[in-house]
């Protein structure tokens, strides 16, 4: 009799490393695109006489705040993220080619990428101030004009505030542990905490607040805002999938990684991590299909379609690739986890 052929664990690990590379490559590609777009936008912004004329009609503080957020920090943030993406891509390529032996080589690059990603979120501070300032002043100001202040508060003010408060500290803490070569358990712990926080704050809270903003009545919106928008069956499905579905994905991620967060002597289940990762990527794939099948932004010019649309949301396309990484983890053989 022929001996049973052992599973090719190397192929499974190589597949996972490859899909990590795909996710990082998508992250860098989109970051680079938005960085180039941002530079182009800000260059034209400061030379646009019409914009300057409209801003000059309002208070000076709003002009300075608007130029700072839209013209400076938005572009600087996109450049920081693109640079972080380049470092992450370099690290992912080395990890794919040299396997675990690349870890000491990429530690410094990953640390710098996390530092830049944290700085990217700090660039949201002017947007946070603008969102709250527009809401509190309750007057028409250029660019937002007659838009109800509560919409800007829910869509911009609150979400960016939560991102600024929670995400950079976690990224900087994780970066510190990687840079100084902390024990593997500490790095895994803070990686899990950061990942769950991303799903909860950057995605679930931000998108849910946008849904709330879309429920604010808006007289000039031609029926695109208000509670009636989400009473339509197709819109309601997307709303529930976001507010409830994304939250369940985040909670599943938290429950799955809780042993590592508590640093318990329990090995994490790669299949459960794969299921959460695949569900996360699947949510964004659904958004893309839903966006185009229901007519896109042209048919629904509102905040909700900006959030789920790949043309407005810089995250939706690269996050879709998590579906394939999750499937690679799900199909990994049990013996590969030993």
For residue range 255-312, list pLDDT tens digits in order: 999 999 998 888 889 999 999 999 999 999 999 999 999 888 888 888 888 888 888 8
Domain presence at residue 1: no
Q: Count CA atoms closer than 13 A to 225's CA, side-chain side.
A: 18
Q: Are residues 152 and 216 in the same domain?
A: no
Q: How confident is the model at residue 9 (pLDDT cuts 50, 70, 90)?
A: very low
Contact yes or no for 214/227 (Cβ under 8 A): no
- The structural domain count of the chain equals 2
Quick check: 127 and 69 in contact, CB under 8 A? yes
Final residue of a structural domain among 135, 165, 182: 182
Could you list the residue range(s) of the whole structural domain that residue 251 is in? 191-333
Sorting pLDDT into bands at 50, 70 and 90, what band is 163?
Answer: very high
Same domain, 265 and 165: no
Do residues 49 and 153 share a domain? yes
Confirm whether pTM is higher than 0.75. Answer: yes
pLDDT in tens, 132-150: 999 998 778 888 877 888 9
pLDDT tops 70 at residue 213: yes
177 domain residue, yes or no: yes
Q: Are residues 91 and 218 in the same domain?
A: no
pLDDT value at 336 more than 60: no
Same domain for 101 and 124, yes or no, is yes
Quick check: is 157 in a domain? Answer: yes
Answer yes or no: do 152 and 253 share one domain. no
**pLDDT at position 197, please?**
97
User: Is 2 inside any structural domain?
Assistant: no
Same domain, 137 and 257: no
- Whether 338 is covered by a domain: the verdict is no
CA 81, 275, 278, 158 torsion: positive or negative?
negative
- How does DSSP assign 152-185, residue by residue? HIIIIIHHHHHHHHHHHHHHHHHHHHHHTT--HH
- Residue at which a domain ends, from 182, 203, 227: 182
Write the pLDDT tens digit of every residue in 51-72: 999 999 889 999 999 999 988 9
Q: Say what the pLDDT of residue 235 is.
A: 79
> What is the average pLDDT across 8-21?
76
91-133 pLDDT, tens digit per residue, is 999 999 998 888 899 999 999 999 999 999 999 999 999 999 9
Check whether residue 135 and residue 269 sit in a common domain. no
Q: Does 324 fall in a domain?
A: yes
Q: Does pLDDT of 335 surpass 50?
A: no
209 and 287 in a single domain? The answer is yes
Q: Is residue 219 part of a domain?
A: yes
219 and 104 in a common domain: no
Last residue of one domain, picked from the residues 151, 182, 213: 182
The region, left, alpha or beta by phi > 0 then psi within -120 to 50, assigned to residue 222 is left
pLDDT value for 6: 46
Interhelix angle 184-197/158-179, nearest 10 degrees: 170
Arithmetic mean of pLDDT, 16-42: 94
């Amino acid at each position: 009799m022929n001996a049973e052929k052992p599973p090719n664990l190397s192929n499974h690990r190589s597949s996972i490393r490859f899909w990590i590379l795909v996710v990082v490559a998508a992250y860098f590609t989109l970051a680079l695109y938005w960085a180039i777009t941002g530079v182009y936008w800000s260059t034209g912004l400061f030379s646009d006489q019409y914009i300057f004329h409209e801003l000059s009609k309002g208070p000076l503080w709003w002009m300075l705040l608007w130029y700072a957020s839209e013209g400076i920090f938005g572009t600087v943030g996109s450049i920081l993220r693109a640079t972080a993406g380049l470092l992450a891509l370099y690290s992912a390529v080395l990890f794919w080619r040299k396997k675990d032996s690349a870890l000491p080589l990429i530690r410094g690059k990953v640390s710098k990428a996390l530092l830049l990603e944290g700085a990217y979120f700090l660039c949201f501070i002017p947007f946070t101030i603008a969102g709250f300032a527009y809401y509190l002043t309750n007057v028409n100001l250029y660019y937002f004009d007659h838009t109800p202040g509560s919409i800007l508060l829910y869509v911009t003010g609150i979400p960016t505030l939560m991102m600024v408060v929670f995400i950079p500290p976690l990224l900087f803490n994780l970066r510190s542990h990687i840079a100084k070569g902390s024990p593997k358990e500490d790095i895994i712990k803070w990686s899990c905490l950061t990942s769950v926080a991303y799903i909860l704050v950057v995605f679930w809270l931000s998108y849910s607040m946008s849904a709330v903003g879309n429920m604010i009545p808006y007289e000039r919106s031609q029926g695109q805002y208000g509670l009636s928008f989400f009473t339509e069956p197709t819109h309601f499905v997307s709303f529930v999938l976001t507010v409830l579905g994304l939250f369940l994905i985040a909670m599943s991620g938290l429950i799955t990684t809780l042993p590592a967060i508590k640093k318990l002597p329990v090995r994490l289940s790669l299949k459960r991590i794969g299921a959460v990762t695949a569900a996360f990527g699947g949510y964004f794939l659904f958004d893309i299909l839903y966006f185009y099948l229901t007519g896109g932004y042209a048919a629904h010019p509102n905040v909700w379609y900006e959030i789920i649309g790949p043309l407005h949301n810089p995250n939706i396309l690269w996050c879709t690739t998590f579906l394939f990484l999750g499937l690679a983890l799900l199909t990994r053989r049990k013996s590969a986890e030993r």
